[in-house]
Amino acid sequence: MDDDNSMHRLLRELYPLCRSITGEGVRRTLKRIGEEIPVQWTELESGTRVLDWVIPDEWRIREAWVEAPNGKRIIDFQEHSLHLVSYSEPVDGMFSLEELQPHLHSLPERPDWIPYRTSYYQRDWGFCLPHRLRETLGAGRYRVRIDSEISPGHLTYGEVILPGETTEEILLSAHICHPSLANDNLSGIAIAVELSKWLAKRKDRRFSYRILFAPGTIGAIAWLSNNRSVLPLVRGGLVLNGLGGPHPWTYKQSRRGGARIDKVSERVLRESGLSHRIEGFSPYGYDERQFCSPGFDLPVGSLSRGGWGSYPEYHTSADNPEFVTAKSLGESADLVRRILEEMERERRTEDGLYVGTVLCGEPQLGRRGLYGAAGDLDTMAALWVLNYSDGEHTLREIADRSGLALSRLVQAARRLMERDLLTRP
């Protein structure tokens, strides 16, 4: 419970910071995370080519507000960072209500909430406000000031690397670009920090772990572009987001659909009895779509509570620290721990994963004294084990598929290991 509360305290502390895809808000967030775990920073200069994208100019914001005709300040970025459209360009002038309206954003269906809007890649400006306030605006001249700067700077991302017994990696990713959104952004960050602490204490890590804190889309693309040599080592991954609310869990499969991380996550959810749904991959959502893009096709799924855009509070001021509970954060962190523990377990136990040393064609068992009456090998069990031992099917899964007893497959795997026809991944 103390861990649950510490996650919620960190979330509340980070909530006021104005994060965007670049800028001081991201750096301040990474600095605070670095007080908890050893985060390594990477900064890429504006104009740097990353795959098909270019690192944008950095956005710096100092103040932004709107004054009504009577001189009263009615919208103020200092009161809530969602009031300003992210990446708004500088403005200082007087506007009629008719001129101002195209730059205002509100939610008629949720009149007391402030929406979240951005203009990352198209120069514009704007303010977000409760619709109830917007309806009170009258004719006259409005003073608008946005003291911002969009100029060359850097994009920043952070990562924690925890070496294991092997160089094979598990990737955990949380995006770090949203201002004042507790579930969609900060819940994933808080849980990733807690998991980093937990993993660092484990002395029996077979996998190495990489925990990534990067701005959405452009940050993941920048990381992929910078880490081509690492990508073949990734054996599974999870994008963590929206994990602190009251909703059932959603697991979104990797593009492969049947990767180990997909099978393990689905099995853990099923066996836990938690209310959940499994969603097939689609090329929209969070950064799983970058990790799973065709040229990389990494085995990375996404875990959330409710899923992308599926709850009313999503991308609004109602997604605040009161919407997220310590209990939900703790439950989600525990679920991810179970998934990671199962990924580790499969590499160690006899009913787990194997890889054949002869993958192209069936190995010749006869010349090894393993075939027919002369051998003491359960031939049918051995053939099933050899055919499906590709590092993607556990012996338990082979038992389910073949209808053979698990004990027969375990015994066959032992004999095949003795003759160097199987190895552990």
The pLDDT of residue 377: 76
Going by C-alpha positions, the residue among 254, 259, 171, 262 that lies closest to residue 208 is 171
The two structure tokens encoding residue 372: 């027919």
Q: Give the structural domain span for 372.
A: 353-423
Q: Are 50 and 355 in contact (CB under 8 A)?
A: no
Q: What is the 3-state secondary structure (H, E, C) of the chain?
A: CHHHHHHHHHHHHHCCCCCCCCCHHHHHHHHHHCCCCCCEEEEEECCCEECCEECCCEEEEEEEEEECCCCCEEEECCCCHHHECECCCCEEEEEEHHHHHHHEECCCCCCCCCECCECCCCCCCCEECCHHHHCCCCCCEEEEEEEEEEECCEEEEEEEEECCCCCCEEEEEEECCCCCCHHHHHHHHHHHHHHHHHHHHCCCCCCEEEEEEECCCHHHHHHHHHCCCCHHHEEEEEEECCCCCCCCEEEECCCCCCCHHHHHHHHHHHHHCCCEEEECCCCCCCCHHHHCCCCCCCCEEEEEECCCCCCCCCCECCCCCCCCCHHHHHHHHHHHHHHHHHHHHCCCCCCCEEEECCCCCCCCCHHHCCCHHHCCCCHHHHHHHHHHCEEEEEHHHHHHHHCCCHHHHHHHHHHHHHCCCEECC
Give the pLDDT score at 372.
Answer: 62
On whether both 251 and 386 belong to a single domain, the answer is no
Instruction: Output the six-digit token pair for 343.
Output: 């990924």
Q: Which of 135, 151, 167 is the last residue of a domain?
A: 151
| 172 lies in the same domain as 122 | no
Q: Judge if 45 and 190 occupy the same domain.
A: yes
Position 1 scores a pLDDT of 61
Number of domains in the chain: 3
Query: Looking at the structure, do residues 118 and 235 belong to the same domain, yes or no?
Result: no
Residues 286, 236 within the same domain: yes
Where a domain ends, among 296, 322, 345? 345
Domain final residue, candidates 328, 345, 362: 345
Question: How far is residue 209's CA from residue 221's CA, in Å, rounded to a whole number?
Answer: 19
This prediction's pTM: 0.93
Q: What is the pLDDT of residue 309?
A: 79
Structure confidence at residue 240 (pLDDT): 98
**334 and 359 fall within a common domain:** no
Do residues 200 and 261 share a domain? yes
Residues 218 and 367 both lie in one domain: no
On whether both 341 and 223 belong to a single domain, the answer is: yes
pLDDT tens digits, one per residue of 259-311: 999 999 999 999 999 999 999 999 999 999 999 999 999 999 999 997 777 89
Q: Do residue 328 and residue 200 come from a single domain?
A: yes
Rounded to 5°, the CA angle 175-177-183 comes to: 65
158 in the same domain as 141: no
The CATH number assigned to the domain holding 185 equals 3.40.630.10
**Residue range 320-355, pLDDT digits in tens:** 999 999 999 999 999 999 999 999 999 989 999 999
Give the number of other Cβ atoms within 10 Å of residue 228's Cβ: 9
What does the block give as tokens for 156?
A: 């920043």
Closest CA to 251 of 274, 228, 217: 274
- List, for the chain, all residue ranges whose pLDDT scores fall below the cut of 70: 1, 372-376
317 and 204, same domain (yes or no):
yes
